[in-house]
Copies of this chain bind each other. A is one copy, B any other.
Amino acid sequence: MVYIGSYRREYLFYNEPSTPPSQNPNPHSISINPNSNFRAIIGLRLPSVCKLHKMALIDTAAAMIFTDRSSSSSSSTARLLIYNSTKFQKFPNTISPFRRSNSLRFGISSRTSSRTIITHCSSSSASAIQVNNETFAKVIDGKRVAKDIREEIAVEISRMKEEIGIVPGLAVILVGDRKDSATYVRNKKKACDSVGINSYEVRLAEDSTEEVLNHISKFNDDPSVHGILVQLPLPSHMNEQNILNAVCIEKDVDGFHPLNIGLLAMRGREPLFVPCTPKGCIELLHRYDIPIKGKRAVVIGRSNIVGMPAALLLQREDATVSIVHSRTKNPEEITRQADIIISAVGQPDMVRGSWVKPGAVLIDVGINPVEDPESPRGYRLVGDICYEEASKVASAITPVPGGVGPMTIAMLLSNTLLSAKRIHNLR
């Protein structure tokens, strides 16, 4: 998106992104202080727009604040992202007049021959900005990050093997024959193989009883097993709580044990394991250098396995956290205050663009199948967040699939490695 010029109080933009978003994960950004009473023209710095640039300078008002930030998020709510385009052209028909408002936001992804947008704002009343139908938010590429993490884990495991001759072991217990569960277990095994973790798999019949506890007990005592995972859901005749409690806490790599959760909630205490999915969410924020401390964070959903521990994790990192759930009366209003949103409710496209503060960072845990006759499988997966709308408002967003999903297994591997290192006193 590029601003072309201004005339009186009209501000002109055009946009012509040339690279698909997947190749351009880190947009360059410029921040505007939305509280300043400003008029602004942001010019292009390419030779071809010298004239325009010059023009821009004519009318740069005093109160305007621009901050060039390469990657870190900004405290202001208005952000300018820079589009890359190989050629600059004036497109009068894409010109959009707009006004400063809380929702002021222009997205332009940056690349090589950086261009600047030229914007020009007046401070009267709020009105939506007309922008082209493009994705502006940085895409948080969970698939790539998960791959990086798996590579790091593989290196650590090689080192461990060299130093003490031991490799981590993960035992997975699968009861019954749910197809989805079998797929998850298979993926976990594959992931273990890829990093050098030994995996042990036990498949039990739907109607098994004592066997589950017996196997857990065996794995608890087995020194070559550092993590034990009971694939959920268990058949309905089983007491899930009792079975999960049977896993000794030192090998509870899922991190679901209440003692772990308690330690996670308490200041000055450290959980043995952090539950994988919320750990993956925070890891994505870290890997993308998204600051958490002092930020407003909203977690949508309060499940024991994602929402609640995600909120506790954000709080450990000094975010100011609010938890929105089914009983919340005005989820939209609260969510719109957040700098960081983690959504884990399992409602397709629930979080609309209007729920998102401009410049917010969105972590979408939901993986919801929706009918899609055009897909070969008859359905496609969407998140809790309406990607199409939200990605135009946010500064960064995880896609579904390819966002949080791949991180969960990566964090399971990470927890298994952590467990093995702790058990063997390895730093």
Residues of B within 8 A of A376 (CB): none
Q: Is the beta-carbon distance between A312 and B265 smaller than 8 angstroms?
A: yes
CB distance from A28 to the nearest CB of B (A): 26
Residues of B within 8 A of A312 (CB): 265
Residues of B within 8 A of A265 (CB): 258, 261-262, 265, 308, 312
**Interface flag for A263 (CB, 8 Å):** yes
For the complex, give the distance between the alpha carbons of A302 and B258 in Å: 19
In the complex, which residue of chain B has the Cβ closest to the Cβ of A312?
B265
For the complex, give the distance between the alpha carbons of A263 and B257 in Å: 9
| Chain B binder among A98-106, A179-187, A324-332 | A324-332
Q: Is the beta-carbon distance between B321 and A323 smaller than 8 angstroms?
A: yes
Contact of A260 among B262, B319, B327 (CB under 8 A): B262
Residues of B within 8 A of A50 (CB): none
Residues of B within 8 A of A20 (CB): none
Q: Is the beta-carbon distance between A294 and B261 smaller than 8 angstroms?
A: no
| Chain B binder among A266-274, A351-359, A394-402 | A266-274
Residues of B within 8 A of A268 (CB): 304
Contact string against B for A residues 261-297, beta-carbon threshold 8 Å, 1 for contact and 0 otherwise:
1111111110000000000000000000000011010
Q: Is the beta-carbon distance between B320 and A324 smaller than 8 angstroms?
A: yes
**Interface flag for A315 (CB, 8 Å):** yes
Residues of B within 8 A of A241 (CB): 269
Residues of B within 8 A of A302 (CB): 267, 315
User: How many residues of chain A are within 8 Å of chain B by beta carbon?
Assistant: 35
Q: Is the beta-carbon distance between A318 and B308 smaller than 8 angstroms?
A: no
Q: Is the beta-carbon distance between B327 and A294 smaller than 8 angstroms?
A: yes
**Interface flag for A322 (CB, 8 Å):** yes
Q: Is the beta-carbon distance between B308 and A334 smaller than 8 angstroms?
A: no
Query: Which interface residue of A257, A262, A268, A315 has the most chain B CB atoms within 10 A?
Result: A262
For the complex, give the distance between the alpha carbons of A322 and B315 in Å: 10
CB distance from A314 to the nearest CB of B (A): 10
CB distance from A345 to the nearest CB of B (A): 14
In the complex, which residue of chain B has the Cβ closest to the Cβ of A333?
B337
**Interface flag for A70 (CB, 8 Å):** no
**Interface flag for A303 (CB, 8 Å):** yes
For the complex, give the distance between the alpha carbons of A293 and B321 in Å: 19
In the complex, which residue of chain B has the Cβ closest to the Cβ of A320?
B328
Q: Is the beta-carbon distance between B325 and A322 smaller than 8 angstroms?
A: no
In the complex, which residue of chain B has the Cβ closest to the Cβ of A241?
B269
**Interface flag for A259 (CB, 8 Å):** yes
Given known A-B contacts A262-B261, A263-B258, A266-B258, A320 and B327 have beta carbons under 8 A apart: yes
For the complex, give the distance between the alpha carbons of A168 and B312 in Å: 35
Q: Is the beta-carbon distance between A262 and B267 smaller than 8 angstroms?
A: no
Contact of A308 among B267, B319, B322 (CB under 8 A): B267
CB distance from A309 to the nearest CB of B (A): 8
Residues of B within 8 A of A325 (CB): 318, 320
CB distance from A158 to the nearest CB of B (A): 35
In the complex, which residue of chain B has the Cβ closest to the Cβ of A260?
B262
CB distance from A374 to the nearest CB of B (A): 38
Q: Is the beta-carbon distance between A293 and B327 smaller than 8 angstroms?
A: yes
Contact of A263 among B262, B267, B321, B323 (CB under 8 A): B262
For the complex, give the distance between the alpha carbons of A308 and B321 in Å: 12
Residues of B within 8 A of A323 (CB): 315, 320-322
CB distance from A65 to the nearest CB of B (A): 18
For the complex, give the distance between the alpha carbons of A269 and B265 in Å: 15
Known: A261-B266, A269-B304, A294-B327. 17 other contacts (CB 8 A): A258-B266, A259-B259, A266-B304, A266-B308, A267-B302, A267-B304, A267-B308, A293-B327, A294-B328, A296-B329, A315-B323, A318-B325, A320-B322, A320-B323, A320-B324, A320-B325, A321-B323
Residues of A within 8 A of B (CB): 241, 257-269, 293-294, 296, 302-304, 308, 312, 315, 318-325, 327-329, 334
